[in-house]
């Protein structure tokens, strides 16, 4: 009991009483240290999350536009906008079909003209011997009125289908439409001319069906 100090005992009691009345002060330092530790540990996680978000944003920026964007745009149109778009689509389809029809019509018209011309050529070729005989009769003998009328009708019928008869004595010789079966020198001639028509030539437009068979006179030198 000789070691007991009354003053030290009183001081200890006062310190215990102060701790009892203010317990927060006793644990404040450890709590603050824990809070700082938690804050420091949270920072790396937040940085990682931000980096991941930035990467996703960059990936989305590089991606092409979604194929369904047109559909979404159409869905976002007002009823009037949808009606106008449908009308424009129908008009474009109609114009395309009209252009195809015009091309088809022009192509079939050309084919029709070609087939028609081929038919006329076939008939004309088959009748050439008879036409040549009519020309010989006209040139070398008298034709009665009835035969002359028939020959005139045949000529007019071919003219109706665009057949042109050519080959006349005295015209200039043209190798593209004349077939010279004989060349006869003539001292009075200054150029090659048709002296006689043996068989008349026939053509349709610029196409020669048969060249005129003629006798040609040419300069003697």
Tens of pLDDT, residues 194-206: 999 999 999 998 8
pTM of structure = 0.53
The Cα 71–Cα 139 span in angstroms is 84
Q: In this predicted model, which residue has the larger pLDDT, 124 or 54?
A: 124
Integer Rg of the chain from CA? 57
The Cα 156–Cα 148 span in angstroms is 12
- Banded pLDDT at 71 (limits 50, 70, 90): low
Backbone angles phi, psi at 188, to 5 degrees: -90, -10
| Lowest-pLDDT range of 11-20, 108-117, 141-150, 164-173 | 11-20
Render pLDDT for 116-157 as a digit per residue (tens, 0 to 9): 889 999 999 999 999 999 988 888 877 788 888 988 899 899
The Cα 35–Cα 41 span in angstroms is 10
């Amino acid at each position: 009991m000789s070691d007991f100090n009354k003053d030290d005992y009183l001081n200890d009691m006062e310190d215990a009483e102060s701790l009892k009345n203010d317990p927060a002060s006793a644990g404040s330092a450890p709590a603050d240290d824990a809070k700082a530790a938690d804050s420091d540990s949270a920072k790396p996680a937040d940085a990682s999350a931000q980096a991941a978000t930035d990467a996703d944003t960059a990936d989305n920026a590089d991606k092409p536009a979604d194929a369904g964007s047109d559909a979404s745009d159409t869905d976002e149109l007002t009823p009037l906008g949808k009606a106008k778009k449908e009308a424009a689509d129908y008009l474009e389809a109609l114009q395309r079909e009209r252009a195809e029809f015009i091309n088809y019509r022009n192509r079939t018209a050309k084919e029709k003209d070609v087939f028609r011309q081929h038919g006329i050529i076939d008939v004309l070729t088959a009748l050439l011997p008879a036409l040549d005989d009519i020309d010989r009769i006209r040139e070398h003998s008298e034709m009665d009125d009835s035969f002359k009328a028939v020959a005139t009708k045949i000529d007019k019928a071919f003219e109706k289908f665009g057949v042109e008869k050519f080959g006349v004595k005295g015209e200039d010789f043209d190798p593209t439409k004349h077939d010279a079966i004989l060349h006869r020198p003539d001292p009075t001639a200054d150029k090659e001319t048709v002296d006689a028509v043996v068989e008349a030539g026939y053509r349709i437009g610029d196409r020669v069906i048969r060249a005129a068979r003629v006798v040609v006179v040419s300069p003697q030198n």
